[in-house]
Copies of this chain bind each other. A is one copy, B any other.
Amino acid sequence: MELTMYDKLLQLPLFQGMSKFDFTDILEKVKIHFNKYEPGSCLVRQDTPCNQLIFVLDGEVQIESNDKTHKYTLWENFKSPNVIEPYSLFGMRPYFTASYTAVTEVNTLNIDKSYILNELCRYEVFNLNYMNMLSNRSQVIYNKLWNAHIGKTRDKIINFLLLRCMTPYGAKKLSIRMEDLARLIDDTRINVSNVLNDLQNRGLIQLGRRTFSIPELREVVQLLDKKD
């Protein structure tokens, strides 16, 4: 493993701040798998058990969250370096909450759960990074919960997205029937249709069949609470 690879690994969430010395030590004890995914191939399927940490070293990944009960699917993307659902490895629901597919060529580093607890968590920096990451996630979501206020139709649609998206920025896509979205936000189909068409006219979303795409969620979020 050349120096640049080390540097890349030390940029990964959870490994940040570790010394190269510790990292060499880890590589001797921990079994690490490197995987390569072609564009379009699936890294992880929603609702399958999460029993490893998957670090995305290179490339872009699409997240697909499907709510079967309420009949909609949400897509967003993320780029390397990143780690897939570190909050799904422990706890009472150790299953992936979404599916992850390679958009570009993707390289990953995978470590089994047993090594995380028995070896990696013995390193104070790694353990602190993990504790911080888990705590931060619940703090961010808790904050969302308390601020999940309801407004007019447009605000309700924006809040629906903000509550469910990993990040409040970047491209998103939602596949849902207008009547289902209207039902979920307790509004009428005609109001939902008017708001979505207005957003399309402003160039902020693209409407498709049972689908709409948002090139940049941040620009839509800026409309929150505006009168017009």
Contacts and interface: CB of A to CB of B under 8 A. Distances in A.
Contacts of A164: 145-146
A71 interface: no
A143 B92 CA distance: 12
Contact of A145 (B92, B122, B163): B163
Provide the main secondary structure of the chain A interface: helix
Interface string A153-196: 00010000001100000000000000000001110000000000
A135 B136 CA distance: 11
Query: Copies of this chain, how many?
Result: 2
Contacts of A141: 138, 141-142, 145
Size bracket of the A interface: 35 or more
A149 interface: yes
A46 interface: no
A172 B132 CA distance: 31
B127 A127 contact: yes
Nearest to A95: B139
